[in-house]
């Protein structure tokens, strides 16, 4: 049930499936009210100026005007609005530009919906939060993301790293089992553990996360 205290969230992203998925997911979250979306930078500026959400989630790469450009324009007019970058790039150059433009946070798109909601709420209420998917620019650019990743990496066993590499190469459970001389059930167990540690739901997400963290070739 939405209340007057619900956080009003706007989404700007040029991928229709991502917008649909986030809209449906956020609409079911308590204390979150999804109020609008845009598919390019210029539309994002116009609609955000009109709707004036509490929090705007803005893709770093969009047609017509980049997310960084959108944030730079909006920050001048709405100093109190929370502006959060959504990005597939764990890149210090992008993060630095986002901070200089006035973004409050830089979130990696591999984030799960529950983690994203936690980040949105923490940034809106200006509470520190540590997440492997977030660089909290509101508290200065300290690469929390990298520190958290190091902790997660340390928890991967050598066998899990081997399974992860083969997943990234597109191997199925049976192939992995044969190549590592272990049972298929053991492979399934390793895959389940990898998903849990990476906070992902499938092999595509696991591979993307592993490559982002430079764990696979």
- Do 109 and 165 share a domain, yes or no? no
- Do 134 and 185 share a domain, yes or no? no
Q: 164: pLDDT confidence band, cut at 50, 70 and 90?
A: very high
Report whether pLDDT(152) > 70: no
The full DSSP string for the chain is ---TTPEEEEEE-S-HHHHHHHHHHHHTSTTEEEEEEESSHHHHHHHHHHH--SEEEEESS-SSS-HHHHHHHHHHH-TTSEEEEEES---HHHHHHHHHHT-SEEEETT--HHHHHHHHHHHHTT-----TTEE-GGG----HHHHHHHHHHHTS-HHHHHHHHHHHTT--HHHHHHHHT--HHHHHHHHHHHHHHHT-SSHHHHHHHHHHTT---
Higher pLDDT, 38 or 132: 38
Q: Which of 130, 147, 164 is the last residue of a domain?
A: 147
Higher pLDDT, 103 or 214: 103
Q: How many domains does the chain have?
A: 2
- Do 143 and 162 share a domain, yes or no? no
Q: Calculate the average pLDDT of the chain.
A: 86
- Do 29 and 102 share a domain, yes or no? yes
Is residue 44 domain-resident?
Answer: yes
Is residue 217 domain-resident?
Answer: no
Q: Residue 95 has what pLDDT?
A: 86
Q: Which of 147, 167, 199 is the last residue of a domain?
A: 147
What are 80-115's pLDDT values in tens digits? Answer: 999 999 998 877 788 888 988 999 999 988 888 999
Report whether pLDDT(208) > 90: no
Rounded to two decimals, the pTM is 0.64
- Do 28 and 121 share a domain, yes or no? yes
**Average of per-residue pLDDT across 46-67:** 95
Report whether pLDDT(149) > 60: no
Q: Residue 133 has what pLDDT?
A: 78
Report whether pLDDT(144) > 60: no
**Average of per-residue pLDDT across 70-88:** 93
Q: Residue 127 has what pLDDT?
A: 85
- Among 53-62, 96-105, 185-194, 206-215, the range with the most confident prediction by mean pLDDT is 53-62
Report whether pLDDT(154) > 50: no
Is residue 83 domain-resident?
Answer: yes
- Do 127 and 187 share a domain, yes or no? no
Report whether pLDDT(3) > 70: no
22-26, 29-33, 42-46, 151-155, range with the lowest pLDDT: 151-155
């Amino acid at each position: 049930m939405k209340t007057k205290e619900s956080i009003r969230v706007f989404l700007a992203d040029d991928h229709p499936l991502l917008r649909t998925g986030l809209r449906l997911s956020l609409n079911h979250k308590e204390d979150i009210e999804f109020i609008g979306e845009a598919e390019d930078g210029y539309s994002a500026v116009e609609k955000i100026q009109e709707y004036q959400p509490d929090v705007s989630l803005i893709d770093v790469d969009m047609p017509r005007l980049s997310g960084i450009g959108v944030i730079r324009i909006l920050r001048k007019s709405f100093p109190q609005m929370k502006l959060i970058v959504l990005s597939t790039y764990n890149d210090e150059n992008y993060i630095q530009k986002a901070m200089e433009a006035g973004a409050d946070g830089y979130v990696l798109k591999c984030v799960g919906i529950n983690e994203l909601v936690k980040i949105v709420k923490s940034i809106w209420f200006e509470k520190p939060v540590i997440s492997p998917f977030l660089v909290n620019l509101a508290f200065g650019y300290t690469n929390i993301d990298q520190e958290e990743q190091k902790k997660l990496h340390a928890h991967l066993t050598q066998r899990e790293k081997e399974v992860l590499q083969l997943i990234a190469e597109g191997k199925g459970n049976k192939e992995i089992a044969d190549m590592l001389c272990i049972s298929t059930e053991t492979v399934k167990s390793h895959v389940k553990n990898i998903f849990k540690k990476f906070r992902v739901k499938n092999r595509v997400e696991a591979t993307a996360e592993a490559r982002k963290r430079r764990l696979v070739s």
